[in-house]
A = this chain, B = another copy of it.
Amino acid sequence: MRYCSQCGAGVTLRVPEGDNMPRHICVECGIIHYQNPKVVVGCLPEWEDRLLLCKRAIEPRYGLWTLPAGFMENGETVQQGAARETLEEAEARVEVGALYALFNLPHINQVYMLFRARLLAPEFGPGSESLETELMRESEIPWEEIAFPVIHESLKLYFRDRAAGHFPLRAGTIRRLEGPERRYAFDLEN
């Protein structure tokens, strides 16, 4: 951020009075521009013993598989956002159920919230951001071609919990480790 979105003047980065973190503050109008994490909402769309996955048609991670998920929008609920993303990316209508996975990704200022969801019918197809969509059993998941660590972990936990017959809320944190390779640490809190 270099300019004030309210008045167009420059901004400076300093700690406001009574605060303890540096913020972008307008040098003219004095407004404080807070920046906060974004919520990513999505579904684990179930049909019998299968889940609906999408092959990404966009960067990042073009061509890899994921669950339907994306940034929550203003004016909607987390459940509406999860259903909207499933409709947009997989052209599938779902009944959204309980929150299943709550993951922090503090290195990219995101909070993931994935909901269990039931397909209303076995009807789906690739939306504009997907190359393919497919209902997959656990044995059919392409584990080496999953787009994001948070999705990989969520799928692993989901199939483990389904084998055990119950789905507690899973909460955890994924941190990117230092270094040039993409390596992550995963802490499950409950």
Binding site for B on A (CB under 8 A): 1-8, 11, 18, 21, 33-39, 71-79, 98-99, 102, 104, 106, 109, 111, 128, 169, 171, 173, 189-190
Interchain residue pairs with CB less than 8 A apart (21): A1-B5, A1-B6, A2-B7, A2-B8, A3-B7, A3-B8, A18-B128, A36-B38, A36-B39, A36-B72, A37-B73, A37-B74, A39-B39, A72-B111, A75-B109, A76-B104, A76-B106, A78-B102, A78-B104, A79-B189, A98-B169
Question: Besides A3-B5, A4-B5, A99-B102, 20 other CB < 8 A contacts?
Answer: A2-B5, A2-B8, A3-B8, A5-B5, A18-B128, A21-B73, A34-B71, A36-B39, A36-B71, A39-B39, A39-B111, A75-B106, A76-B104, A77-B106, A78-B104, A79-B104, A79-B171, A99-B169, A99-B171, A169-B169
